Amino acid sequence: MSILARASVEDMEARLADTPALPPHRVIRGPEIGLTMLRGRAGGDGAAFNLGEATVTRCSVSLPDGTLGHCWRLGRDRRAAELAAWLDAALQQDALRPALLDAVVEPLREGQAGAAALTARRAAATEVRFATLQAMR
């Protein structure tokens, strides 16, 4: 689900183009945009504090057999929230799950892992090692 919640609507639609059609869905709630409070904790053992608010979009859909799919994602992309909720419902169907995992979720996961690795490498290149401080220890 975290992969679908991060993926852009274009990425999801491109991956869906060559999978069997998803069963029809019906929107139960939303897609609607709201705010959620982000909470943080300093150093892992500090008291929790309110960091700020973030925009989230949520959507719930149901399939004809009653399966529910939900999506809550950062940002204001209503179409992406609805599509991710639809995929969430379809992924609970045993008949569709393997095909969707292979065609949609895995490629998206690799793409996101690659992007994260790239960012990490770029950040690593700018790391500064304070040799003097290290030598003093």
Partner 1 sequence: MRPAFIDPVFGAQEAFRALMDAMARPGRIQRCDVLPDLPEALAPAAAAALLALTDAETPVWTDATGEARDWIAFHTGAPLVADASKAQFLLATRAMPKLSTLDSGTDETPQDSATLIVQLDALAEGAGWRLTGPGIEHEHRLDAAGLPDDFAAQWAANRKGFPCGVDLVLCTGARLAALPRSTRIEEAG
Output the smallest distance, CB 40 to partner 1, in A.
22
Residue 49 CA to residue 38 CA, distance in Å, equals 9
Output the smallest distance, CB 66 to partner 1, in A.
7
What pairs with residue 68 in β-bridges? 62
**32 is an interface residue for partner 1 by CB under 8 A:** yes
What pairs with residue 122 in β-bridges? none
Residue 69 CA to residue 27 CA, distance in Å, equals 10
Please identify which residue in 10, 14, 27, 120 interacts with partner 1, judged by CB under 8 A.
27
33 vs 103, which CB is nearer to partner 1? 33
Nearest residue to 92 (alpha-carbon basis) of 73, 121, 66, 111:
66
Map the footprint of partner 1 across residues 50-69, applying CB under 8 A.
Answer: 60, 62, 66, 68
Under the rule (CB under 8 A), what is the footprint of partner 1? 26-29, 32, 60, 62, 66, 68
